[in-house]
Amino acid sequence: MGEDLIVIGRISRPHGLKGEIRIEYFNTEDPQLCSRYQNIFIQGDEGPPQPYHPIKIRPHKQGILATLEGIHTKEEAERLRGNVVLVDPAELPCLEEDEYYWHEILGMRVVTEQGEDVGTVVDIFPTGSNDVYVVREGTKEFLIPAIKDVIITVNKETRTMVIRPLQGLLEEDDL
């Protein structure tokens, strides 16, 4: 296994009577991507993540449906409800230049071009046209659109993002 596992979703509930599970899949742009995983890991409240081999994975509404080796009944699937689903990042496909996985962005420090500290990316939500980064510093929270006019550079090595705020995005007294 490669580096630390990354969260790709959460089990919402069983689907049907034969152990299929419904997963809230966090990659809303490409639900077909889920079918490439050789193994997925399910993390409950206690113990290490448990590996499962997917027999069948398919997009379904706003999530995916998965049939996993070793899960054969609705009751077995029910015990997994609410658990997170993880994968080995080595199984993720390569991205284009200037594209990033959420796990690479979460936790990054955000600064302006002038070097003013804005905060840390604590959440990301998709809007349809672009993602929005939730950046927090203390009690202040900023919503930063993930667009080329705003995001100047992303440095994965230093875990720093440099932004050029649009007018009105940040006020002088906010920083």
Quick check: do 6-91 and 102-166 share a fold?
no
CA 32 – CA 57 distance, rounded (Å): 9
CA 39 – CA 57 distance, rounded (Å): 11
Q: What pLDDT shows up at residue 2?
A: 42
Are 72 and 19 in contact, with CB atoms under 8 Å apart? Answer: yes
175 residues of the chain, pLDDT tens digit each: 445 888 888 999 999 999 999 998 776 555 556 667 788 899 988 889 999 999 998 888 778 899 999 999 999 999 999 999 998 888 877 778 888 888 889 999 999 999 999 999 999 887 778 889 999 999 999 999 999 999 999 999 999 999 999 887 776 556 5
Domain limits, the chain: 6-91, 102-166
Q: Is the whole-model pTM more than 0.85? A: no
- Which one of 2.40.50.100, 2.60.40.10, 3.20.20.80, 2.40.30.60 gives the CATH number of domain 6-91? 2.40.30.60
Element (H, E) at 154: strand 151-155
Please tell me the CATH code under which domain 102-166 is placed.
2.30.30.240
CA 53 – CA 97 distance, rounded (Å): 31
Structure-block tokens of residue 138: 């203390």
Strand partners, 7: 86
Q: What pLDDT shows up at residue 47?
A: 85
Q: What pLDDT shows up at residue 174?
A: 61
Closest residue by Cα to residue 65 from 44, 101, 35? 35
Structure-block tokens of residue 77: 């699937």
CA 15 – CA 18 distance, rounded (Å): 8
Q: What pLDDT shows up at residue 41?
A: 93
Amino acid at 16: G
For residue 20, count other CB atoms closer than 10 A to its CB: 20
Residue 109, by phi and psi: left (phi above 0), alpha (psi -120 to 50) or beta? beta
Give the contacts of 81 (CB within 8 A, at least 6 positions apart).
11, 12, 13, 14
